[in-house]
Structure 1
Amino acid sequence: MFPLMLFAAVVGQPPDLVVENARIWTDGLPGFAENLVVRGGRIVHVGTADADLSRDASLRIDARGGLVTPGLIDAHIHMLSGGKLLSHVQLRDVRDKQEFIERIRAWAGALPPGEWVLGGRWSVETWRQPHQPTKEWIDAVTGERPAYLPRMDGHSALVNSAALRIANITRHGPKDPVGGVIDRDPATGEPTGILRESAMELVARHIPEPTLDSKVSALRRAMSEANAHGITAVGDIPGLDDLRTYERMAVQSLTLRWFVYPTTADWVAAVEEIRGFIAKPGWLEIRGLKAYVDGSLGSRTAWMRQPYLGNPPDRAEWRGLLREGVADGRLARNIAAARAARLQPMAHAIGDEANHLLLDLYEQAYGDPRAARCRIEHVQHLLEGDIARIGRLGVVAAMQPYHKADDGRYAEEYIGTQRCRLSYAFKSLLNCGAVVAFGSDWPVVTLNPMLGIEAAVTGRTLDGRQWQAQENITVGEALRCYTSAAAYALFAEREIGRLAEGYCADFVIWDGTPFASEPEWSKIRPAAVFVDGRCVYSNDERVGVAASRPADAAAP
């Protein structure tokens, strides 16, 4: 918490920065403020113009009526994966089989012999004629270069024959691992090239580990990308073994506040490992630990109470997958370890039964989980009664609204109209008093928070239909989910997420506004982004100052 004595000293100094002639959304004051004064990296005034407070400012910015909001907080993101993907093959926007194959052919052909073909984030649901890809599609264009190409949700992957050989996956074995599936031709037993959930690790473990320097560069690329979208703080979810990368990155100056939740299957061991983590207070801190309960809807591995629709005959009762460690009690032990260590627990749960099970575990471990701010990541499909239960228990619903625009294209085909009534229940959760914190889940989907806000406000799917319109929320509510509520989810609500006296001077001046009667969502972009009162991104002459982002932040 910012020391009050230090804040009092800052108030007495000349201002570093004044933003005037603005429409400042404060999430606390009625209407919009027009003037913002910053000293020593802190906000000392928000409201109408104050000549005395603004006198002798080092920098004055005329916002020309532009919208100013708190810096947006992405409460659920994978920064290292996103930074890596920026330098791998991109398949998110392909629209048919031929384009998919040609994109991979061009990328693989430019690689040195033997180097892995990585990247992907494909989704056949967006294709003109959806077809599940197989290894045969890509064998001819990748040759002996092994390929590992995750689906957009990261819960299944396409691999080629070279990768299957490296992992010794054949028609004769191995058996499906706990919590995973090796897709096979039902007639021959031959692996198709699709691996689901824990089966992905059979190949992924053979991918050469990138160097520490290359991972640091990936993080700094991701940091610059986040700033360019108006993001000033993140709830980042790396692997436990990547913590040294974060320490190395933080040796240099940062333009983003990082709250880290390492993913690991064994929280008991992790508690000991993170004790030696070198934090950078206010900029890089470990908040908690993350685990998985189930998979995803798109991969048909989200754990549902009733079977999926359209299952093949040999899997008529398929309900999805519970991840390893759930059924045998390890997740319950993990949550107990987090409680004992005063770490915040978060767990991925998408299916209705997965969410119900996780709520049971939180309630059993804590009784009243409110003070611990236990988090459920995704919260996409719920059972009757669990919406009110989330509000009653004070469990944080960490949701990614852009997933609604994507899943809405096929959710009813997979689970039916009736179950979809309780999907992406933004409004119902807010009405029950739940804290809903928004994020992107990048690189699973776009990093752009305005497209997430559009999905939450309009209910439009990527194919232009209205879906779950009864759960649409207002622009103000969506912004709150991306600011003060997200800060609460990170135990940072006294520092960031609002534009108020004493708070960190993290804010965005926008080009365009979501408050317009018919916003052009894809064209709303930051004109300038400030973190700690310092401009870290700018593309607008009205700011009158170049971004002071350190050179290393943009390092390749």
Structure 2
Amino acid sequence: MTIASTLYRGGVLHCPAEPGATALLVRDGRIAWLGVDADAPVADRVVELDGALVTPAFVDAHVHVTDTGLVLSGLDLSAVRSAGQLLDAVAVFAAGLPADAVVLGHGWDESRWADAVLPDADAVGRAAGGRRVYLSQASIHSALVSRALLAACPQVVGVAGYDVSGWLRRDAHHVVRAAAQGAVSRAQRVAAQRVALRQAASVGIAAVHECGGPEISDEEDFTGLLALSGVGVPEVYGYWGEWGGARRARELGAVGAGGDLFVDGALGARTAQLSVPYVDGGGCGHGYLSAEQVRDHLLGCAEYGLQGGFHAIGDAALSTVLAGLAGAAQRLGTDRVRAARHRVEHAELADRRLIAGFVEFGVVASMQPAFDRLWGGAGRMYESRLGLARSLASNPVGAMHSVGVALAFGSDSPVTPLDPWGSVRAAVAHHSAAQRMSVRAAFAAHTRGGWRAVRMDREGVLALGAPATFAVWSTPAGVSGGLPVLEAADPEVRGVGDPTPLPVCRATVLRGDVIYQEGVS
């Protein structure tokens, strides 16, 4: 039987093994040929690239797909800059909803407001016409809620993190989050998942790592998302973050028992666990797991042959994870621990000692360069929480890379947008010069690094016989060394406000199938 083939020709290919290649042939989902146009074989179909750049497609190594879809189709509060603007946005959005609807919003960040005073539960409820309201902060580790939602969750009173003002953290936040999301119908959830996955494909992402768990999404949401994987949308690799839940993770079809298995909280909510207190109050944050619990979870992962992983942001939380890894290594041997490629999500405050532990135990650092772009540098949230010196040492992607830590970049969407080239540029233009990476290294962390993080080492390259998973780009700023130009030539205008236009995705191909085509809905 003749297998249909497609020739893509007339482009610029990011293909280090064939640096002069301008064309590739796809057959049966794989790259069957690479070379120059003049030598191209006959194909059943020809796609003219017209000088476009072809690269391996991106992998987003940390997403929350349902939440992302709900934000994309719901109330986005990332642009509000005051309590008044937040209440106005809630009022406009709620006016179009039924009286019994739950208002779901996301993305407010009081650290970017001139006056960081938040509205209370009564004000939020009035703006929403008395409806139940759940508005997650940018970090998704705290939320503003209305009095009506608090009344619907009487069990939340007295739970750790509860505050009568309606700004909830820690366990109290988990209670109201579950109640708010429980009001979203299954059909709405599926629609939101499709919206998010289509958006990912439209920016050149061919695979995502979903970080689910009992405190993030219910099991039906998780398994329903996995069922969508790769069916005209990016592939989904699921992590189930439940302590001691390796067996359940396997039953649910997860690739790992980790992801958002919380060892601590977030810097924005002052719940990330630090060894030195926050400079703006709030103590040292909060730890959810002990080193012994980390160890026992990893031993359970070994029993079921699964990768483990943890959400850990603060240096104290990272110390707990590494102590747990050391405990597991005492039982299993360091080589077996390394072979599992356990993960840590975020790892924002890792110093040299902690980074050495990542190297020792072969830990994958799943990191989000956009965190530094949004909250790093002088005058921003990290400085207000940590002081300038500690803030500039945060998100140490360059230090991790320089000593060989395996990196996998992602967005933590909807915490930050699905924006892979923006994340690459954020790593290249880190606020601390010591943490900057080359475009090539950052691109590798956001492509091949994501595949390696799910132990699929042959993916993420344009090579003969490799899966035909790639993206086609318009590059308005040009191409250098097989990759887009992402920074201005003038060093004075580089950084967060760099005006250099980023590449625009023209097509995304997953194992030979086009999952996004510019101009085709």
TM-score, normalised via structure 2 length: 0.88
1:350 maps to 313
Q: Which residue of 2 aligns with 1:489?
A: 453
Change in 2 beyond 3 A, CA 1:209/1:103: closer
1:226 maps onto 2:200 in alignment: yes
Report the AA paired with residue 364 of structure 2. Answer: V
**Equivalent residue for 1:34, pick from 22, 34, 42:** 22
Q: CA, structure 1 residues 32+517, in 2 after alignment: closer, same or farther (shift >3 Å)?
A: farther
List gaps (5 residues or longer) in structure 2. 479-483, 489-497
Indicate conservation of the 8 Å contact 2:8/2:24, yes or no: yes
Structure 2 residue 14 is the aligned partner of structure 1 residue 25: yes
1:535 equivalent in structure 2: 514
Question: Match for residue 3 of structure 1?
Answer: none
Q: Find the residue that maps to 1:56 and give its secondary structure.
A: coil
Alpha-carbon distance in 2 for matches of 1:247, 1:235: 10
Match of 2:343 in 1: 375
Q: Give the aligned residue type for 1:403.
A: F
Equivalent AA in structure 2 for residue 174 of structure 1: V
Q: How far apart are the structure 2 equivalents of 1:262 and 1:199?
A: 21
Match of 1:394 among 340, 354, 362: 362
Task: Give the drift of 1:118.
Answer: 0.9
Partners of 1:332 and 1:106 in 2: CA distance: 49
Choose from 268, 284, 290 the match for 1:327.
290
Change beyond 3 A, Cα 1:197–1:507 = same
Distance in 2 between the 1:192 and 1:328 partners?
Answer: 34
**Letter of the structure 1 residue corresponding to residue 168 of structure 2:** L
Work out the CA distance in 1 between the residues paired with 2:196 and 2:248.
28
Identical-residue share of aligned pairs (%): 28
Alpha-carbon contact 2:291-2:320 (below 8 Å) kept: no
User: What aligned pairs does 1:427-438 form with structure 2 within 5 A after superposition?
Assistant: 427-438=398-409
Instruction: Indicate if the aligned counterparts of 2:58 and 2:206 stay in contact, CA closer than 8 A.
Output: yes
- 2:440 aligned partner: 476
Structure 1 match to 2:324: 361
SS in 1 for 2:222: helix
Q: CA deviation at 1:259?
A: 0.9
CA distance in 2, matches of 1:230, 1:520: 21
Match of 1:259, as an amino acid?
Answer: Y
Q: Distance in 2 between matches of 1:236 and 1:370?
A: 23
Distance of 1:273 and 1:357 partners within structure 2: 22
Confirm or deny: 8 A CA contact 1:237 1:261 kept in the other structure: yes
Aligned counterpart, 2:491 = none
Query: Are residues 503 and 240 of structure 1, via their aligned partners in 2, closer, same or farther at CA, if it must alter by over 3 Å?
Result: farther
The answer to whether the 8 Å contact 1:216/1:249 transfers is no
Cα contact 2:9–2:46 (8 A) shared by 1: yes
Is the Cα–Cα contact under 8 Å of residues 223 and 255 in structure 1 kept in the other structure?
yes
Matches within 5 A, 1:119-138: 119-138=105-124
Q: For residue 36 of structure 2, what is the amino acid of its counterpart?
A: T
Q: Is the 8 A contact 1:215 1:245 kept in 2?
A: no
Deviates more, 1:116-125 or 1:145-154: 116-125
Distance of 1:262 and 1:122 partners within structure 2: 27
RMSD of equivalent CA atoms: 2.4
Q: Write the mapping of 1:240-251 to structure 2, written as runs, cut at 5 A.
A: 241=219, 242-246=221-225, 248-249=227-228
Question: Residue 55 of structure 1: SS of its match in structure 2?
Answer: coil
Give secondary structure in 1 for the equivalent of 2:326.
helix
- The residue that corresponds to 1:526 in the other structure is 505
Flag the 1:30–1:298 CA change in 2: closer, same or farther, 3 A. farther
**Within 5 Å, which residues of 2 pair with 1:29-68?**
29=17, 31=19, 33-49=21-37, 51=39, 54-68=40-54
Task: Give the aligned residue type for 2:202.
Answer: A
Q: Distance in 2 between matches of 1:511 and 1:300?
A: 41
1:448, CA displacement in angstroms?
1.1
Distance of 2:24 and 2:134 partners within structure 1: 49
- Cα distance in 2 for partners of 1:457, 1:328 equals 34
Structure 1 residue 328: Cα displacement:
8.6
Q: Deviations over 1:235-291 (max 9, x none)?
A: 1112351234235535x93421111112324415xx14643x4x6xxxxx6344331
| Larger mean Cα displacement after TM superposition, 441-450 or 14-23 | 14-23
1:385 to 339, 346, 353: 353
Contact 1:451 1:521 in 2 (8 A): no
Equivalent pair of 2:143/2:168 in contact (CA under 8 Å):
yes
Question: Which residue in the other structure is 2:175 paired with?
Answer: 202
What is the letter of the counterpart of residue 25 of structure 1? H
SS of aligned partner of 1:433: coil
Corresponding residue for residue 256 of structure 1: 234
Deviation at 1:14, TM superposition (A): 6.5
What are the within-5 Å matches in structure 2 for residues 1-16 of structure 1?
16=5
Separation of aligned partners in 1, 2:486 and 2:175: 49
CA distance in 1, matches of 2:392, 2:352: 10
Q: Is the 8 A contact 2:249 2:256 kept in 1?
A: no
Structure-1 separation of matches of 2:419 and 2:176: 31
Q: Is the 8 A contact 1:288 1:346 kept in 2?
A: yes
Q: What is the SS of the residue equivalent to 1:348?
A: strand
1:501 and 2:464 matched:
yes
**Distance (Å, rounded) in 2 between the aligned partners of 1:307 and 1:233:** 38
Task: Give the counterpart letter for 2:10 in structure 1.
Answer: N
The residue identity in structure 1 corresponding to 2:503 is: I
Match 2:57 to one of 54, 58, 71: 71
Contact 1:14 1:56 in 2 (8 A): no
Structure 2: which amino acid aligns with 1:204? R
Is the partner of 1:158 in helix, strand or coil?
strand
Find 1:340's aligned residue among 303, 306, 318. 303
TM-superposition CA deviations, 1:69-99 (whole Å, max 9, x none): 1010111111121122223211111122222
Q: Which amino acid aligns with 1:481?
A: A
Residue 182 (structure 1) aligns with: 162
Local SS of the residue matching 1:192? coil
Match of 2:67, SS state, is helix
Deviation at 1:160, TM superposition (A): 1.3
**Residue of structure 2 in register with 1:453 after alignment:** 424
- Aligned partners of 2:264 and 2:273 also within 8 Å: yes
Residues 353, 383 of structure 1: 8 Å contact kept:
no
